[in-house]
Structure 1
């Protein structure tokens, strides 16, 4: 069986399909989202093209295992609409941060609603699908299989959803990177990790100072300047974990339903508490 969508945006994409499709047909179509069924998969110019291995079906006059051509496309927004939406997205730091960390903000649809459109599909009118199989129902199980596969692809690459709506991912990243926060996150995401620098000690060492030739007894015992009345508290180490966050909540190797980033954050927190307890 194909993998169900894990992210909220992938699940909502499937939910839109389920709203106007028979559940039994969708369940049969889900089995067509696997590598065993999909012989060819291509995303080009905001459109998915796939070749699906079908079944022998004498009822439809199919006596030899066929290969069907399937295409799935979402309605594209106009350049003017995208220009307005991008301008609104780049005005909010929370949107910039989540998008550049491969996550779609849950309230992103509010920005699209202000322009009178939406990012995720919410009815059959948002889908443009085709399949050359003899099944007259739309969507057929082959189209459903491609949609399930596409929802899984959205989990791995949220920017693919923007591409399906007619906006090149490179264009979105370029616009987000124009802001100061976007530039920092974009550079960290696309750049190489900083190499390890060898050090002589893991602890702060005192800096030796030259003693004066002569010193009064008062200065020897009391010092030349008064000691500070308080010591500034040490700040906890901040680990950006950019390498972990690059893969998003569900990287390719992660098979669990829970977020990989959430699991790693909990792991680092417990490790930190354990280290501090033993200091």
Structure 2
């Protein structure tokens, strides 16, 4: 009779598996991965999480793939054939994503962080306001399946997948949004489009130029200026500082074209992406 792996059988060690970067202590570095694991660990799953963390650090997870709504992994246990793991989470409906994109695009700093590859902390609040929580709030929000004989859910194979998933979120926060149904390119394209449209709408709403009847007479203006008293200043010293200036404190150095990389491409009538490429050359330091 074969002893099932959850009853103490020896785990088949593998080479070339996905090994957690963390070797001890907590797993997860960024706020979003810590937030994700905090939700998981709040379910009080006991030693299964500890054993799953050991599996993740031992490299027992052979593959890990993230797609909209579904995470799939292959985990080697004590049997010759690896176990197949699936974790599903509902994707956001299109109206929710539309509201999220509008809110993110309206806030310049948050949009800039996303365009630079960073997940701003307020994105969780934005999702909540759209009626679409970014992280699962209950164990029932996740549909989990493993092909192992262990009846516990989650088993250690699922737990190992969760920990490596958190480290994947550390490396690329857009994987969280992909799991909820929006790929990086689609989200960033939507943000650029919304921000570009808002810019041109603001230009169109500017006040019209005043009519000729409303403009002051040049002769009257010149006469009024001629009657002003002479200024009581030394013109030669007007642009000089009254006290000696110290050298400025060095600021944090960054790449010169950072701003250009955060801005959306200009519209076609202003040159499009080619104009942005030409501008970037002027920001680069000369050798």
Residue equivalent to 2:158: 143
Is 1:230 equivalent to 2:239 in the alignment?
yes
Residue equivalent to 2:66: 43
CA distance in 2, matches of 1:146, 1:157: 16
1:21·1:139 contact (CA, 8 Å) conserved in 2?
no
Residue equivalent to 1:13: 36
Tell me how large the CA RMSD over aligned residues is.
2.9
Residue equivalent to 1:221: none
3-state SS of 1:42 partner: strand
2:56 to 15, 26, 33: 33
2:52·2:156 contact (CA, 8 Å) conserved in 1?
yes
2:71·2:87 contact (CA, 8 Å) conserved in 1?
yes
Residue equivalent to 1:84: 99
Residue equivalent to 2:279: none
CA distance in 2, matches of 1:139, 1:242: 48
CA distance in 2, matches of 1:98, 1:163: 17
Q: Gaps (5+ residues) in structure 1?
A: 56-63, 184-224, 245-279
The farther-off stretch of 155-164 and 45-54 is 45-54
Cα deviation for residue 238 of structure 1 reads 7.1
Runs of at least 4 residues of structure 1 off by over 4 A?
A: 232-238
Map 1:1-279 → 2, pairs under 5 A: 2=20, 3=22, 4-34=27-57, 36-55=59-78, 64-178=79-193, 179=195, 227-231=236-240, 239-241=253-255
Cα deviation for residue 24 of structure 1 reads 1.3
3-state SS of 2:236 partner: coil
Cα deviation for residue 132 of structure 1 reads 0.5
CA distance in 1, matches of 2:177, 2:110: 14
The farther-off stretch of 235-244 and 64-73 is 235-244
Q: Gaps (5+ residues) in structure 2?
A: 1-18, 200-233, 259-287
CA distance in 1, matches of 2:102, 2:71: 28
Per-residue CA deviation, residues 188-228 of structure 1 (Å, 9 max, x unaligned), is: xxxxxxxxxxxxxxxxxxxxxxxxxxxxxxxxxxxxx9634
1:9·1:120 contact (CA, 8 Å) conserved in 2?
no
Residue equivalent to 2:208: none
Per the normalisation by structure 2, the TM-score is 0.60
Per the normalisation by structure 1, the TM-score is 0.62
Per-residue CA deviation, residues 4-25 of structure 1 (Å, 9 max, x unaligned), is: 1111110111111112242311
Per-residue CA deviation, residues 36-90 of structure 1 (Å, 9 max, x unaligned), is: 21222222344221111102xxxxxxxx433100112222110111011111110
Cα deviation for residue 237 of structure 1 reads 6.6
CA distance in 2, matches of 1:65, 1:83: 46
3-state SS of 1:50 partner: strand
